[in-house]
Amino acid sequence: MDFLIRDAVPDDAEAISHVRVEGWRESYAHILSAGFLAALDASAQVERWRESIASGRTIVVAEVHGNVRGFAISGPARTENSPHDLELQAIYQLAKMHGSGSGQALLDASIGNQPAYLWVAELNPRAIAFYRKNGFRADGERMISPEWENLVEIRMAR
């Protein structure tokens, strides 16, 4: 599958929001309830994404035939006592992109080989394996997100 990795532009906000919601639905159906996932509203986040893109944060997208199919965002650490100054804040793609190499390309474009950290759902073995392949290791930190049905995330760093 041919894809293009490029910097996001404000006009990508709607597509990025859609990919994020669909990414959650496709990746977390075994973790979060069907009702919770069905209630996610991509349109509610479009303006927030537009502002994030316009602010100059590092946001890259994977595009196939003019359609955004994945994205990654990185930036300064958002939590205290972070192991590194750089955080991979999100990387999502539609399931049909899995195995295409676009996830690796998004990671490379957003953080390269720099020391960084990220949070990942503890029950997302596919993502954890991907991050391990890229040198990330769980560092023992965990957090529970009550607003996400007590989703447990682990911190990984390299």
Output the pLDDT for position 80. Answer: 87
Q: Residue 81 contacts by C-beta under 8 Å, 6 or more apart in sequence? A: none
Output the pLDDT for position 55. Answer: 87
Give the Cα separation of 38 and 136 in Å (integer): 31
Output the pLDDT for position 108. Answer: 98
Give the Cα separation of 156 and 138 in Å (integer): 4
Long-range contacts of 31-40 (CB under 8 A, 24+ apart): 31/121, 31/123, 31/124, 31/149, 31/151, 32/148, 32/149, 32/151, 33/149, 36/148, 36/149
Output the pLDDT for position 107. Answer: 98
Output the pLDDT for position 29. Answer: 95
Give the Cα separation of 106 and 69 in Å (integer): 11
Sketch out the chain's domains with CATH numbers: 4-157 (3.40.630.30)
Residue-wise pLDDT tens for the chain (158 aa)?
Answer: 899 999 999 999 999 999 999 999 999 999 999 999 999 999 999 999 999 999 878 999 999 999 999 999 999 999 889 999 999 999 999 999 999 999 999 999 999 999 999 999 999 999 999 999 999 999 999 999 999 999 999 999 99
CA torsion 75→76→78→80, rounded to 10°?
160
